[in-house]
């Protein structure tokens, strides 16, 4: 019995009182819960896409959201209790940089699909089963958005949100708590406004997702960007709540720093989307 107790003490010792800069993660149920949630979501998605019920997919997504909340809550607690040493924070930065790099390649795929369809319109239009000849892009019958209307307005909104989140960051570095809160609050409101305008834009579109390759590539590229804006807005809301609780300091604010990185990434992607899909893609096209 004494031997068993000694073994347990030795197993928990590195977690309770580490004498090094590397963080050993405490035993957690979130990885297995997240794996089960992902499996349920995948099964539910397959069922729904084959015309079945939406409930299995909804259950899976709910568990995924719960896992994300619980897991990141534990990570925030680890940061507050001093587990995130300078070495650990450096590695977290490496991880975030790699994550954003993977997101860049994700959007490269959608840009590739769009330009492939645009430059080789004959083949793309045939794949899309649209009865058009001459290699027109956008295909005949598609009325595109006026880039200098709602898309330009959304561009201004997103660029302004980039300045407000930078304001919040610099305010935090100067220990200006009010500036931090106001900067974050304005960024969240601007992110919500961007999402609202994009939903309204989709509702008034002169083309649909189905039936032509232009609609498919447009909605996939801009839709996934809109999803990233939504995720980034939630990210910033969490940072605002933590800031109001006094969790961030000028020296320790890794969570907010990552949120700012992510938001600037979303800004840059939108600039490319606006310049290519909205502006370049509307040249010579029929405006809706």
Question: Taken in order 60, 63, 69, 75, is the CA torsion positive or negative?
Answer: negative
Residues 219 and 108 in one domain: yes
Residues 15 and 157 in one domain: no
Number of Cβ within a 10 Å radius of residue 17: 7
Q: How many domains does the chain have?
A: 2
DSSP assignment of 26-38 equals PP-SHHHHHHHHH
Residues 169 and 265 in one domain: yes
Residues 66 and 100 in one domain: no
Contacts 24+ apart (CB under 8 A), 248-254: 248/172, 248/180, 249/175, 250/172, 250/173, 250/174, 250/175, 252/79, 252/84, 253/172, 254/79, 254/84, 254/89, 254/92, 254/93
CATH code for the domain of 13: 1.10.287.70
Residues 93 and 78 in one domain: no
Q: To the nearest whole percent, how much of the chain has pLDDT over 70?
A: 87
Residues 120 and 220 in one domain: yes
Residues 17 and 144 in one domain: no
Expressed as residue numbers, the domain containing 188 is: 85-287
Residues 184 and 219 in one domain: yes
> pLDDT tens, 260-271?
999 999 999 999
Domain boundary pick from 30, 60, 83: 83
Mean per-residue pLDDT pooled into runs of 10, the chain (288 residues) = 53 55 76 95 94 93 94 84 80 93 96 89 59 65 89 96 96 94 96 96 86 87 95 94 89 90 97 95 80
Contacts 24+ apart (CB under 8 A), 112-121: 113/217, 113/220, 113/221, 114/217, 114/218, 114/221, 114/276, 114/277, 114/281, 115/276, 117/213, 117/214, 117/217, 118/281
Residues 47 and 183 in one domain: no
CATH code for the domain of 142: 1.20.120.80
How is residue 86 written in tokens? Answer: 């300078």
DSSP class of residue 141 equals T
Q: Write the burial class of residue 68 (CB in 10 Å: 0-12 exposed, 13-18 middle, 19+ buried).
A: middle
Residues 93 and 3 in one domain: no
pTM: 0.84
Residues 68 and 129 in one domain: no
Domain boundary pick from 57, 83, 109: 83
Domain boundary pick from 29, 55, 83: 83
How is residue 288 written in tokens? Answer: 């809706």
Please provide residue 287's backbone torsions phi and psi, each rounded to the nearest 5 degrees.
-85, 135
How is residue 215 written in tokens? Answer: 């609609």
Q: Which residues pair with 144 in a beta bridge?
A: 287
Q: Which residues are within 8 A (CB) of 158 and not within 5 positions of it... i.e. 6 or more apart?
A: 190, 194, 229, 266, 267, 270
Residues 29 and 120 in one domain: no
> pLDDT tens, 3-22?
555 555 554 555 555 566 67
Question: Taken in order 248, 101, 23, 29, is the CA torsion positive or negative?
Answer: positive
């Amino acid at each position: 019995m004494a031997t068993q107790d000694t073994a347990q003490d030795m197993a928990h010792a590195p977690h309770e009182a580490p004498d090094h800069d590397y963080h050993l993660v405490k035993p957690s149920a979130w990885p297995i819960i997240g794996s089960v949630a992902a499996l349920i979501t995948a099964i539910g998605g397959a069922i729904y896409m084959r015309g079945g019920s939406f409930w299995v997919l909804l259950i899976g997504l709910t568990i995924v959201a719960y896992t994300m909340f619980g897991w990141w809550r534990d990570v925030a607690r680890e940061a507050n209790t001093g587990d995130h040493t300078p070495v650990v924070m450096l590695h977290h930065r490496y991880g975030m940089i790699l994550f954003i790099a993977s997101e860049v390649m994700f959007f490269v795929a959608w840009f590739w699909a769009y330009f492939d369809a645009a430059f080789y319109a004959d083949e793309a239009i045939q794949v899309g089963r649209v009865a058009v000849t001459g290699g027109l892009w956008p295909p005949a019958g598609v009325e595109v958005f006026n880039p200098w209307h709602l898309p330009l307005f959304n561009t201004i909104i997103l660029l302004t949100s980039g300045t407000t989140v930078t304001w919040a960051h610099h305010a935090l570095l100067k220990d200006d708590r009010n500036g931090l809160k106001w900067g974050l609050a304005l960024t969240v409101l601007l992110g919500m406004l961007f999402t609202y305008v994009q939903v309204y834009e989709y509702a008034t579109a002169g083309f649909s997702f189905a039936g032509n390759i232009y609609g498919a590539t447009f909605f996939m590229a801009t839709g996934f960007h809109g999803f990233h804006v939504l995720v980034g807005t939630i990210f910033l809301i969490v940072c605002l709540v933590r800031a109001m609780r006094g969790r961030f300091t000028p020296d320790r604010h890794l969570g907010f720093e990552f949120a700012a990185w992510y938001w600037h990434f979303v800004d840059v992607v939108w600039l490319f989307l606006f310049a290519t899909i909205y502006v370049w893609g509307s040249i010579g096209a029929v405006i809706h």
